[in-house]
Amino acid sequence: MSERKKLALIAIGGNSIIKSGQRGTIEEQFQNIEETCRSIVQLVLRGYRVIVTHGNGPQVGAQLLRSELAAHQVYTHTLDVCVADTQGSMGYMIQNSLQRALDDNDRDDEVGSVVTQVVVDENDPAFKNPTKPVGPFYNEDEAKEKTEQLNWQMVEDAARGYRRVVPSPIPQEIVEARMIQAAVDDDIIVIAVGGGGVPVVRRDDRLFGIEAVIDKDRASSILAQSLKADLFIISTDAEKVCLNFKKPDQKELDRLTIEEANRYMKDGHFPPGNMGPKIEAVVNYMEAGGSHAIITTPENLGRAVDGGTGTHFVKE
């Protein structure tokens, strides 16, 4: 019987898809994704089975804007449907780019995308205190109109105007986990949990979509735990996790134990809107039985797995 290949789950961030300063055209997104996929293939060449998850912040914002601008001509989309839409379009781009990168390395691995639902608790405190900004900015009059007509909750950004905020509940369960596991067991490279997953709630054992967005790193951690992934990688815009980020005494970290990660989080080194959810996702994975996690940039995935860079999380 052949030895079981290790399973790596790679969560790619928005910088892998739309880079700072770009308009985010399809051509730009394809170019960026192709670069990331060449790095992902390096793990396949090292003998890993691979699952890819991804963020969708800019894309779901654009989808909401299209829905709003065309509301006088066509039906509008709810937020859960927008997430599903971007799972399909972005899954296609990643799938297509991965297949070409595999072809370039004389590999014939199959790649497939799964529209993934993620269960959240309808009583999660996030639904009473929405904090996650989505979509475009509005002036004061427009924001007031949206609040009155659509019952949106808006927050003010002093520099840019008003923006809609939606709940960001904690993910609890990946609905399609068994399907994803079956595909992985058949050596298919799977793209799943796009944008954190389509948010759904259980009512009388039935699933219903709900207006929310789920943090993709937290949802990716849940999937990594469910499938007992051997390696959990979060790809972001920093080659290594840092203490005192962007300060004169900034310090890059090559290795972190879970105890150290928890202590640094408590000390405020990892802000909620930046590195915080990533560290939390890694800690949750490790505490649930995971053995190894890495945070690094897309272009450094291969080197990081070989131990040459990135921040490596270990139990002791």
Which positions are catalytic? Answer: 14-15, 132, 216, 278
Q: Which of 220, 226, 243, 206 is nearest to 293 (CA)?
A: 220
Distance between CA 56 and CA 198 in Å, rounded?
11
Residues forming a β-bridge with 165: 133, 153
Residue 8 identity: A
- DSSP assignment of 157-203 equals ETTTEEEEEE--PPP-EETTHHHHHHHHHTT-EEE--GGG-EEEEEE
3-state DSSP assignment of residue 221 = helix
Distance between CA 267 and CA 15 in Å, rounded?
27
Residue that the structure tokens 């051997």 belong to: 230
Q: Which of 152, 129, 154 is nearest to 139 (CA)?
A: 154
Contact 313, 294 (CB under 8 A): yes
